[in-house]
Structure 1
Amino acid sequence: MKLGSVVRRHRGLTIGAAIVALLLLVGLGAVVYADRANTYDLDEERISFRDGAQRLDGVLAKPTRGRGPYGLVVLVHGDGPKNATNDGFYRPQMEAYARAGYATLSWTKPGVDGAPGNWLDQSMEDRARETEAAIAWSRSRPDVDHARVGLWGASQAGWVLPKVAARTPDVRFLIAVSPAINWLRQGRYNLLAELRAEHASAERIETEVRRSDETRRLLQEGASHERYRAALGDAADMPADRWAFARRNFAADASADLAGVRVPVLLMLAGHDVNVDVAETEAEYRRLLGGRAELTVRHYPGAAHSMVEKDIEDSRVDTWFTAVFAPRDLFAAGYLGDQRRFLAGR
């Protein structure tokens, strides 16, 4: 082998090693940056409490500054299997609350992450009693200011918050994010909004509405899951426990409970919400709370139902990168700050 070829090979190895080292440094830097971006100014404590015989496991997240007692925001989940932090999605909110001098209490839904029970066995009344059990547990905590306890809830929690607020003196405020008023009207709005977003044909819309009408009829008749499947065939997309959940809750309507609310309410509505008719929600909140409770309404034109910016939510890549490297930027502009200012005014 000639000396020149050895030198060229050595130089090639050196350049290759340098590139590998550079990539490793960039990767390490990205890991360090992501770790810092997902580190929150919170003191989290794992807790448990009971709702009757049901054990519920959760998190109490407190400010790292000050000695308390702190105000408390009790989080009430929307639909779906959610753990205490919603896989970290709630932590930017928890941090915003902490900066306003508030702790946050949240718990894992029954049956999620190995927790006992099944959240699909619950009615909205069950979920309200569960929330009241969480508030009762908080009374034992000397680090909680019981004159500053309120509820935050998203989507399906719109049928839970007013129940609890109307009958629990401890609740001093509500933060309602993308709530609906009536279960069946919300379902029909969601169906049509999604079909329009997909530019569905008139024939498909007619077919889907007919199936929806049949599902409603079966729910109102208390039909079994077997009858539901027989009636809708391949279009019967709800498994047995989800059908039982729908049958248990389809008649939910927040109107009567909202009329009994007498505490300040922050209503937060998204501009691209295909799940909830925000115009109906705002009109009903204004009608039912007007003159009886302080109502603050905030609109987020760029947000989807989750209060994540729609442009981000529509892209899996953007969602992943933002969640990893800038999780506080997932949310619509003003969403976190508006909650912090609302809490500071309590």
Structure 2
Amino acid sequence: MGPKVQHRRRGLRIAVWSLAAVLVVAAGLVGVVLWQNSYDMDEQRVSIRHGGHTLNGVLATPKDGRERHGLVVYVHGDGPIDATHDDGYKPLWEANAKAGYASLSWDKPGVAGASGNWLGQSMDDRADEAAAAIAWACARPDIDGDRIGLWGASQAGWVLPKVAARTPVSFVIAVSPAINWLQQGRYNLLAQLRADGASAARTKAAIAKSDSTRRLLKRHASFEEYVRARGGDADGMTADRWRFIAKNYTADATQDLRALRGIPVLLILAGHDINVDTVDTERVYRKVLDAGGALTVRRYPDATHSLLKQSIEQSDLKTTLTAVFSPRSLFADGFLDGQRQFLEDPGTGAQ
């Protein structure tokens, strides 16, 4: 056997072992991803009839062998959100399951093949939808109708108290909720401009543009009028979105919150929220609900509006990698455990 043949065989062995090592590492990574994205609960697709339409939902139940469970009904924030929020809800559902609670969520109308159009809904429409889901759940033998509560984020802050006014609920978890639509919009605008380091001139122009939009809304202007007022540039606005805003821009939760008096409420606020004025939200919640002694406020200084860690959310790469390899680590420290602890005994811990 010549030296050239020996060299080729040695090179082949090295290549084979290198490939094997790569495959082992790849298999290990796949295993980690599958393990990290497996949750200790059972999931099933469900259908809920409401208003001539079908809500396409997911019911996640604990694997604890019990015949009946309490239930957390999820009310989405703004945007075209599906039942699992692109799997983002699953770590929260698992925390609920650990506390002995099932979780129910559904695709917004027009999302993931669902009928309808969520942009055609008012906050009252959304409350009616959630109330119908609760009625459906109460009819199930595996759900304890005396332990059904609500979870809602951001825009859901205008929906949660409306639901409670329509049907009895045992508790409410409000995550980054706003109080007044217009005030929240102005706060978000200014916070985003500060974060961008906008000049005084740019800030003044942005406020003037916002004020112009408010005047158009107040006089019930059409989408076509909005576009003309913008010099023909819709600036990302669509006709459906304009109608949605026109239908809901007067929303204010202050009076509706009275429906939550006496109900255990967990108010969750983030330290880096540029969408919602958390100081104003806490002030109003305390003013309306504190007298009943059932309000619990939890603040997460390292969290953004979505309750993700700021250090992760500010990087798209970090967000993607964490979502793939360690999705539970996306959320602010203590957030998932805090939700579980509240569910284990909603009537305690008020502060």
Shift of 1:118: 0.8
* Alignment of structure 1 residues 222-241 onto 2, 5 Å: 222-233=220-231, 234=233, 236-241=235-240
Shift of 1:66: 2.5
- Does the Cα contact within 8 Å between 1:271 and 1:301 map onto a contact in 2? yes
Give, in whole Å, the separation in 2 of the partners of 1:209 and 1:130.
35
The one-letter amino acid of 2:326's match is A
The one-letter amino acid of 1:16's match is A
- Does the Cα contact within 8 Å between 2:82 and 2:107 map onto a contact in 1? yes
Give, in whole Å, the separation in 2 of the partners of 1:311 and 1:235.
34
The one-letter amino acid of 2:320's match is W
Give, in whole Å, the separation in 2 of the partners of 1:293 and 1:54.
39
2:266 counterpart of 1:266: yes
Shift of 1:113: 0.9
Give, in whole Å, the separation in 2 of the partners of 1:184 and 1:50.
33
Shift of 1:45: 1.5
2:286 counterpart of 1:290: no
Deviations, residues 82-138 of structure 1 (Å, cap 9, x unaligned): 111111100111111011010111111011111111111101000000000000101
The one-letter amino acid of 2:175's match is V
Shift of 1:17: 2.0
Deviations, residues 263-294 of structure 1 (Å, cap 9, x unaligned): 11000000000000000000000001121351
Give, in whole Å, the separation in 2 of the partners of 1:137 and 1:35.
33
- Does the Cα contact within 8 Å between 1:121 and 1:241 map onto a contact in 2? yes
Shift of 1:325: 1.0
Matching residue of 1:18? 17
Give, in whole Å, the separation in 2 of the partners of 1:235 and 1:144.
47
Q: Helix, strand or coil: the match of 2:220? A: coil
Matching residue of 2:336? 336
Matching residue of 2:247? 248
Matching residue of 2:129? 130
Q: Taking structure 1 as the reference length, what is the TM-score of the superposition?
A: 0.97
2:216 counterpart of 1:210: no
The one-letter amino acid of 2:185's match is G
Structure 1 outlier segments of 4+, above 2 Å? 233-237
The one-letter amino acid of 1:229's match is V
Give, in whole Å, the separation in 1 of the partners of 2:299 and 2:67.
32
* Alignment of structure 1 residues 23-42 onto 2, 5 Å: 23-42=22-41
- Does the Cα contact within 8 Å between 2:131 and 2:166 map onto a contact in 1? no
2:157 counterpart of 1:158: yes
Shift of 1:167: 3.3
Shift of 1:232: 1.4
More deviation in 244-253 or 9-18? 9-18
The one-letter amino acid of 1:308's match is L
* Alignment of structure 1 residues 130-209 onto 2, 5 Å: 130-169=129-168, 171-209=169-207
Shift of 1:208: 0.6
Give, in whole Å, the separation in 2 of the partners of 1:14 and 1:214.
72
Give, in whole Å, the separation in 1 of the partners of 2:67 and 2:149.
16
Shift of 1:235: 5.9
Give, in whole Å, the separation in 2 of the partners of 1:236 and 1:218.
15
Q: Taking structure 2 as the reference length, what is the TM-score of the superposition?
A: 0.96
Can you give the 5+ residue segments of structure 2 that lack an aligned partner in the other structure? 347-351
